[in-house]
Amino acid sequence: MPDVTKDQILDALKTVQGPDGSSNIVALGLVSDVFISDGKAYFSITVPAERARELDGMRSAAERAATSVPGMRGAMVALTADKKGSASGAPARTPPRTPASPPASRQGPQATGSGAANVRATPAQGKPGVPGIKHIVAVASGKGGVGKSTTSVNLALALHANGLSVGILDADIYGPSMPRLLKLSGRPEQLEGRIIKPMENYGLKVMSMGFLVDEEAAMIWRGPMVQSALMQMLREVAWGRLDVLVVDMPPGTGDAQLTMAQQVPLSGAVIVSTPQDLALIDARKGLTMFRKVEVPVLGIVENMSYFIAPDTGNRYDIFGHGGARREAERIGVPFLGEVPLTMDIRALSDAGTPIVIADPNSPQTLVYRDIAHKVWSQIEGEGAPTNRAPPQIVFE
């Protein structure tokens, strides 16, 4: 069967009535560019901001219409009020409710903007939780290239090694890493309704956009599409019962970070930085954002803290050393630990066998387990169930 084209999807969407009740959503110019990958269509529909909730049925109808095209397996559709000059001329500033969010009668306060200047603190108890998940912990960084995803996956595996049931959500829509880091491929199984069964490996339940689109596909999405995809991957996945869901955040303080901070009851955030001042400047931005939305900062991890030469055993502070510890002390948050820069961590991550799995007794693994113990102790209390409390490890 030939590949489905955008024109075929748009023809199907002409059967969906627009918010004016007389024309279809294509004729009204409300449909964004359509992105098709592996039998799924991704697009958004512009609606008046004040009618976003009321028009969710139109989103569902568009989803059904797109899926009805022969050769299509599904669709991910978001309502957006982000486009200026919408059908009603209403101001286009407020992101709409995502498809996976609860009805208005059970929903907490909504985000009111996409920039840091518009952040409004939202108490965690006002945000709908995810059934079966006890704690959700975000792992974030102010910039890319600091090893945040490697830290996320080893933290999740260390929590599991410490006796907890753990899942990991890859929230980096544009650059998902979990399929490669956890040696996972293929497509998740779709259960009854819209629910997706997460992929599993090494005892972790895993969800990532990397399972839904081709590895080389370019995700050119506007903010509302990112918000919608995140909420669907969080709330429309059969996670089961988890002690902790680790969320690997994309770098920066953009749409994905604000969506998670404002719409999800996060138990806390872990900030990953390297020792040098440039990385710490960006890490402070992440710290500031989480504090503004009243998400507890569980602490800072100094990644690539130092390098031990494998041939001589000599130590080299390639990126400086101790900057993250000093920053944690300065702003009054816990310092969670120093992860050295080693060839093993890099090579094993690239091979899809993270060091916590490949070498469970290595000094580096014990560092991750110590970090995991500190994180769990903060969110659950000192009596947290662990197989054993890992010792403090110091490389000399």
pLDDT at 147: 84
pLDDT at 252: 66
Closest to 188 in 3D by CA, of 116, 239, 256: 239
Q: How far apart are CA 388 and CA 141, in angstroms?
A: 29
Task: Assign domain 125-380 to a CATH class.
Answer: alpha beta
Q: How does pLDDT run along the chain (396 residues), one tens digit per residue?
A: 578 899 999 999 999 998 888 899 999 988 887 878 778 888 878 887 677 778 878 888 998 999 999 988 888 787 765 443 333 333 333 333 333 333 333 333 333 333 333 333 333 446 778 899 999 999 988 666 788 899 999 999 999 999 999 999 998 877 788 989 999 988 888 887 778 899 999 999 999 988 877 666 666 666 677 777 888 888 889 999 999 999 998 876 666 777 777 788 899 999 988 887 655 676 777 777 787 778 888 999 998 888 877 778 788 887 777 888 888 888 888 999 999 888 888 889 889 999 999 999 999 999 999 999 999 999 987 434 444 344 444 443
Give 148's contacts (C-beta < 8 A, 6+ positions apart).
139, 140, 141, 248, 249, 251, 272, 303
Q: Give the single-character DSSP code of 302.
A: E
pLDDT at 132: 93
Ranges of each domain in the chain: 6-96, 125-380
> Which one is the CATH code of 6-96: 3.90.25.10, 3.30.300.130, 3.55.50.30, 3.40.50.300?
3.30.300.130
CA dihedral 343, 345, 347, 348 (to 10 degrees): 150
Closest to 239 in 3D by CA, of 196, 178, 190: 196
pLDDT at 110: 33
The predicted model scores a pTM of 0.68
Token digits for 289?
């954002």
pLDDT at 14: 94
pLDDT at 282: 66
Q: What are phi and psi of 189, to 5 degrees?
A: -80, 135
Which segments of the chain does DSSP mark as H helices, in order? Answer: 6-13, 56-67, 148-161, 178-181, 223-235, 255-263, 277-292, 323-331, 343-350, 355-358, 363-380
pLDDT at 243: 96
